[in-house]
Amino acid sequence: MSKIQETGKRLAQFAETVNLPFSFNLVMVLNINDLKKESFDIEAGEFIAVYSSLFLKNLLAQPKCLESLMRVIRDLRPEIMVITEPEANHNSQAFKDRFVETLLYFSAIFDCLEACMDRSDPSRMGAEGLYLSYAIKNSIAKEGKERAFECVKIDYWRAYLAEFGMEETELSMTSLYQAIQVVKKFACGSYCTLDMNGKCLIIGWKGTPINSLSVWKFC
């Protein structure tokens, strides 16, 4: 929670530099089903934006929880929702297919870490030893309800979000230009690939898709 609060402080400091009215209110629930529209302190006429970064995948194995969250978001009626999710499908019933897909995906991630971070970097060691090892086991060794999370590609999310009356919105040329400029600032940026899948941006490593970034609005 302290990291989230620290993020709030940084956001407030940035807002102050651009003279933007800003307040940070933390909402925490033990169960996503306990989250309600009333949990948020929203003023009349306030612009609402939702940003979901690598989170929805955690609820795919709990469809009722995911539906509950989407109903809350629908009740909030945000002007915009930005979603980032892994661009992978590790859910094949055939073990061979699931293994190959997982191998290709995580090989690209490990190759990215090798190119961009020292092996002794604490952040890299933590990512490899905790998150990545757990994610690989979850993708290969677990099935069905045993899984902590599931990864699906953007086409799945398009069909799912459409059921809640959401439509995909095109990314602005300004945002795409900004993404390209940020990538160029890094020494290994030439290995990072930015491709469009319809209106969605696919971020990859040496051509292997890693994450999707899409923007949504309610019809």
- What does the DSSP assignment read for 76-136? H--SEEEEEEE------SSHHHHHHHHHHHHHHHHHHHHHHS-TT-HHHHHIIIIIIHHHH
- Summarize pLDDT for 26-74 with one digit per residue, the tens: 899 999 999 999 999 988 888 899 999 999 999 998 999 999 999 999 9
Query: Domain 31-218 has what CATH class?
Result: alpha beta
Q: Is 169 helix (H, G, I), strand (E, B) or coil?
A: strand
Q: What pLDDT score was predicted for residue 103?
A: 96
| Residue 194 pLDDT > 90 | yes
- Summarize pLDDT for 180-193 with one digit per residue, the tens: 999 999 989 999 99
Which is nearest to 151 in space by CA: 56, 32, 50? Answer: 56
Q: What pLDDT score was predicted for residue 101?
A: 95
Average pLDDT (5-22) is: 90
Q: What pLDDT score was predicted for residue 29?
A: 92
Average pLDDT (119-127) is: 95
How high is the mean pLDDT of the chain? 93
Q: Which residue ranges make up each domain of the chain? A: 31-218
Confidence of residue 107 (pLDDT cuts 50, 70, 90): very high
Confidence of residue 78 (pLDDT cuts 50, 70, 90): very high
| Residue 2 pLDDT > 90 | no
Q: What pLDDT score was predicted for residue 144?
A: 78
The single-letter DSSP state of residue 44 is: T
Please name the amino acid found at residue 197.
N
Q: How far apart are CA 61 and CA 57, in angstroms?
A: 8
The two beta strands, 208-218 and 80-86, are antiparallel
| Residue 4 pLDDT > 80 | yes
Q: What pLDDT score was predicted for residue 1?
A: 66
The H-or-E segment that residue 12 falls in is helix 2-17
- For residue 219 the two structure tokens come to 């019809």
User: Taking CA 134 as the corner, what is the angle to CA 147 and CA 179, rounded to the nearest 5 degrees?
Assistant: 100
Q: 203-206, long-range: CB within 8 Å, 24+ apart, which pairs?
A: 203/87, 204/87, 204/108, 205/108, 205/109, 205/111, 205/112, 206/108, 206/111
Listed in sequence order, the residues at least 6 apart from 2 whose beta carbon sits closer than 8 Å to its beta carbon are none
Query: 30-39, 73-82, 142-151, 173-182 — which is least confidently predicted?
Result: 142-151
Please name the amino acid found at residue 18.
V
| Residue 153 pLDDT > 70 | yes
CB of 151 closer than 8 Å to CB of 139: yes
Burial 111-138 (b: 16+ CB within 10 A, else e): ebbeebbeeeeeebeebbeeebeebbeb
Q: What pLDDT score was predicted for residue 21?
A: 86
